[in-house]
Amino acid sequence: MNLDLTAEQEAIRRTVREFARERVAPRAEEMDREEAFPYDLVREMAGLGLMGLPFPEEYGGSGADTVSYALAVMELARADASTAITMAAHVSLGAMPFYLFGTSEQKERYLVPLARGEKLWGFGLTEPNAGSDAGNTQTKAVLRDGKWIVNGTKAFITNSGTDMTAGTTITAVTGKRPDGKPEISNLILPQDAPGFTRSKKYRKMGWRASDTRELVFTDCEISEENILGARGDGLKNFLTILDGGRISVAALSVGLARGAYDESVKYAKERHAFGKPISKFQAIAFKIVDMATEIEHAELMVLKAAWEKDQGRDFVQSASYAKLYAAEVSHRVVNDAVQIHGGYGFMDEYPVSRMYRDQKINEIGEGTNEVQRMILAKLIGL
Amino acid sequence: MKIVVTVKLVPDPNAVRRIDPATKRLVRAGVETALNPFDEYAIEAALQLKERLGAETTVTIFTMAPESMKESLRKALAMGADDAVMLSDPALEGSDVSVTSYAMAQALKKTGFDLILSGALSDDGNTGGVPGALAEYLGVPGLTNVRKIEEIGDGRIKAQRETDSGYQVVSGPLPALVTVTMAVGEPRYASLKGIMGAKKKTISTLSAADCGIDRLVGSDGAKMEVVSIAAPKAREKARVVEAEDGAAGAQAILDFLRERKLV
Residue A76 sits in the same domain as residue A90: yes
Let me know: does A232 contact A174? Beta carbons within 8 Å.
yes
Among A127, A201, A208, residue whose Cα is nearest residue A162: A201
- Interchain CB distance below 8 Å, B192 and A12: yes
Pairing verdict, β B176-180 and B115-119: parallel
Low-confidence ranges of chain A (pLDDT < 70): none
For domain B2-221, the CATH superfamily is HUPs (3.40.50.620)
Q: Are strands B9-11 and B33-35 parallel, antiparallel or unpaired?
A: antiparallel
Q: Clarify whether residues A290 and A209 are in a common domain.
A: no
Catalytic residue among A75, A127, A308, A366: A366
CA nearest to B42, candidates B192, B201, B185 = B185
> How many residues are there in chain B?
263
The answer to the question of residue A2 being in a domain is no
Same domain, A136 and A109: no
Chain B residues in contact with A63 (beta carbon < 8 A): 193, 196
Residue A94's nearest CA partner among A127, A59, A61, A52 is A52
Q: What is the ipTM of this complex?
A: 0.82
Q: CB of A186 within 8 A of CB of A237? A: yes
Q: Exposed, middle or buried: residue B232 (CB in 10 Å: 0-12, 13-18, 19+)?
A: exposed
Contact status, residue A126 vs residue A157, Cβ threshold 8 Å: yes
pLDDT of residue B124: 83
> Beta partners for B84?
B61, B203
User: How far is Cα A112 from Cα A47, in angstroms, rounded to an integer?
Assistant: 14
DSSP character string of B4-25 = EEE--EEE-TTSPP-EETTTTE
Q: How far is B78 from chain A (nearest CA, A)?
A: 9
d(CA B94, CA B99): 9
- Sign of the torsion angle spanned by Cα atoms A368, A371, A375, A377: positive
Residue A197 phi/psi, 5° resolution? -125, 155
- A175 to chain B nearest CA, in Å? 43
| DSSP E strand stretches across chain A | 120-124, 140-144, 147-158, 165-176, 182-190, 196-198, 212-223, 227-228, 272-273, 276-277
Quote the Cα angle for B168-B61-B50, to 5°.
Answer: 60
- Can you tell me the mean pLDDT for B182-211? 94
What is residue A61's predicted lDDT score, i.e. its pLDDT? 96
Interchain contact, B191 vs A62, CB within 8 Å: yes
- Listed residues A119, A145, A179: the one ending a domain: A119
Q: Do residues A227 and A60 touch, judged by C-beta distance below 8 A?
A: no
Q: Burial level of B82, CB count in 10 A (0-12/13-18/19+)?
A: middle
pTM confidence score: 0.88
Domain boundary among A86, A119, A152: A119
Say which residue, A223 or B228, is predicted with more confidence. A223
A156 phi-psi bin (left φ>0, alpha ψ -120 to 50, beta other): left
Residues with Cβ within 8 Å of residue B28, at least 6 apart in sequence: B11
Say whether A71 sits in a helix, a strand or coil.
helix
d(CA A244, nearest CA chain B) in Å: 21
Q: Mark whether A158 and A254 lie in a shared domain.
A: no
CB distance A302 to A292 below 8 Å: no
Q: Which letter, b or e, does each residue of A83-114 get, where b requires 16 or more Cβ atoms within 10 Å of its Cβ?
A: bbbbbbbbbbbbbbbbbebbeeebbeebbbbb
Mark whether A259 and A364 lie in a shared domain: yes
* Mean pLDDT value of segment B91-116: 94
Between B252 and B30, the higher pLDDT residue:
B252
Q: Are residues A260 and A376 part of one domain?
A: yes
Distance from CA of B201 to the nearest CA of A (A): 13
Residue B262 banded pLDDT, cuts 50, 70, 90:
confident
Contact: A63, B199; criterion CB under 8 Å: no
| Beta-carbon contacts below 8 Å between A and B | 41
Cα separation, B86 vs B110, whole angstroms = 12
> Among A353, A357, A325, which residue's Cα sits nearest to residue A339?
A353
CA torsion, ordered A48, A81, A209, A365, to nearest 10 deg:
110
**Where among A102, A119, A136 does a domain terminate?**
A119
Q: Which chain B residue has its CA at the smallest distance from A10's CA? A: B195
Q: Where are the domains of chain B?
A: 2-221, 232-263
Give me the residue from B75, B191, B199 closest to A49, CB to CB: B191
Residue A131's domain is classified under what CATH number? 2.40.110.10
Residue of chain A minimizing CA distance to B76: A11
The neighbour count for residue A178, using CB atoms within 10 Å, is 6
- The answer to whether B203 faces chain A, any CB pair under 8 Å, is no
For residue A310, the one-letter residue type is D
Contact check, Cβ <8 Å, B196/A50:
no
Do A374 and A342 share a domain, yes or no? yes
pLDDT score of B232: 81
Same domain, A98 and A147: no
User: Which tens digits make up the pLDDT trace of A23-45?
Assistant: 999 999 999 999 999 999 999 99
Q: Do A18 and B78 touch (CB under 8 A)?
A: no
Q: Which helix (H) or strand (E) holds B219?
A: helix B218-221
Paired strand residues for B64: B87
How far apart, in whole angstroms, are the C-alpha atoms of residue B21 and residue B235? 22
Boundaries of domain holding A251: 236-380
Measure the CA–CA gap between B249 and B243, rounded to whole angstroms.
5
Number of domains, chain A: 3
At residue B55, does pLDDT exceed 80?
A: no
Report yes or no on A1 lying in a domain. no
Q: Do A11 and A106 share a domain, yes or no?
A: yes
What pLDDT is attached to residue B17? Answer: 80
- B 168-197 residues with CB < 8 A to A: 189-193, 195-196
* Residue A136 C-beta-side C-alpha neighbours within 13 Å: 7
In this structure, are A242 and A200 located in the same domain? Answer: no
Task: Write out residues 22-61 of B within 8 Å (CB-CB) of A.
Answer: none
Residues of A in contact with B193 (CB under 8 A): 49, 57, 62-63
Tell me the CATH number at A296.
Answer: 1.20.140.10
Instruction: Decide if pLDDT at B241 tops 90.
Output: no
Q: Which of residues 99-158 of B touch A (CB under 8 A)?
A: none
- Cβ of A68 and B75 within 8 Å? no
Q: Does some domain include residue A137?
A: yes
Contact check, Cβ <8 Å, A57/B189: no
Q: How confident is the model at residue B226 (pLDDT cuts 50, 70, 90)?
A: confident
A366 is catalytic: yes
> Which site among A16, A23, A62 would you substitute to test the B interface, given the most B Cβ atoms closer than 10 Å to its Cβ?
A62
In this complex, the residue of B74, B75, B192 whose CB is nearest that of residue A53 is: B192
Give me the amino acid identity at B127. T
Same domain, yes or no, for A12 and A85? Answer: yes
CA separation for the pair B8, B121 (Å, rounded): 9
Per-window interface: A 276-315 vs B, CB < 8 A: none
Provide the chain A residues 54-113 that lie in CB contact (below 8 A) with chain B.
Answer: 57, 62-64, 68
Distance, CA of A294 to CA of A335 (rounded, Å): 13
Question: For B196, which residue in chain A has the nearest alpha carbon?
Answer: A8
Residue A263 belongs to some domain of the structure? yes
Q: For the residues B3-29, what does the mean pLDDT come to?
A: 87
CA dist., res. A48 & res. B126, Å (int): 32
- Determine the pLDDT at residue B237: 80
Residue B109 has pLDDT above 90, yes or no: yes
Closest CA relative to residue B163, chosen from B177, B140, B186, B183: B183
Q: For residues A246 and A308, state if they share a domain.
A: yes
Question: Among B195, B199, B201, which would you mutate to test the A interface (most chain A Cβ atoms within 10 Å of its Cβ)?
Answer: B195
Domain harbouring A57, CATH code: 1.10.540.10
CA angle (A287 as vertex; A281, A292 as ends), nearest 5: 125
Q: Are B33 and B14 in contact (CB under 8 A)?
A: no
Q: Which of A110, A62, A53 is nearest to A248 (CA)?
A: A53
What is the model's pLDDT at position B21? 84
